[in-house]
Chains A and B, each alone.
Chain A
């Protein structure tokens, strides 16, 4: 008897598809539907009240939403660039070490093991204006005698959050770039040196282009993780003081769970998801171009 047979690749990929469908796709469809309704968490019957694109229109005209949107983009740009530069520096320094490099590599990975929520508490403690590590250190060293209100002042709080983000994720860049440094073929580097390039020129025009794919991978991974900022920000400032550090996801979380306006929260969520998809696709395309220019592609 002839049996219908699926192609082998589909059989292999099927478990992945099924599980992603169940846990990601179906919930997303549900929340897409609810974003067109007046759904309120406290009144389950409102989920059937269809109000069309009202929620989206409201989000478009909401100054708080756009402020949070802008701040999220700012945080992402600032954090990713800082992480890239610091990670590059760190990787180059670690790669030069010969003795004890394994230990350094393990130490470098240290922040990656911290739960984002733990990082939040840790930095909340460090930046505490009264008993925090940073203010204590500054005061003991005699650099200042006032308690700097790190988490109370809006701008300083934003910087504190950037610092926490950079601390956790620089190692992602550093490790990927380190992997890249080890993978660089030595011939072009030596050729450049023979041709009389200064060390800086060698680095800028030979080493760096080889590292670019690795940097784009790190960027792609990190931009997928924008939402990680939720845990850290939620713990450190919860979007305060007076919404000065409100990011997209803290705003959405609050609108959804605290104000119980879930339909509206989901509408904002969809706009936010679109943002991270744009970033991700952008970096993936960059990655593909960088790969093909180096002949690493398919």
Chain B
């Protein structure tokens, strides 16, 4: 089982700060998806690379990301 990022896409404002601070560069805006607020929400493109460092979640102004580490 890998680490887990749960992204509450409906609350995401697509600011991209999480992607900017992600050391693994595995977050990017989902240009194929528009949420109810009209934003392209963030998505993880390679969960297997995630180290559960939670930098994305700490930076996110809207508390959109929950991070769980595989134990």
Answer yes or no: do A and B interact: no
Chain A residues within CB distance 8 Å of chain B? none
Chain B residues within CB distance 8 Å of chain A? none
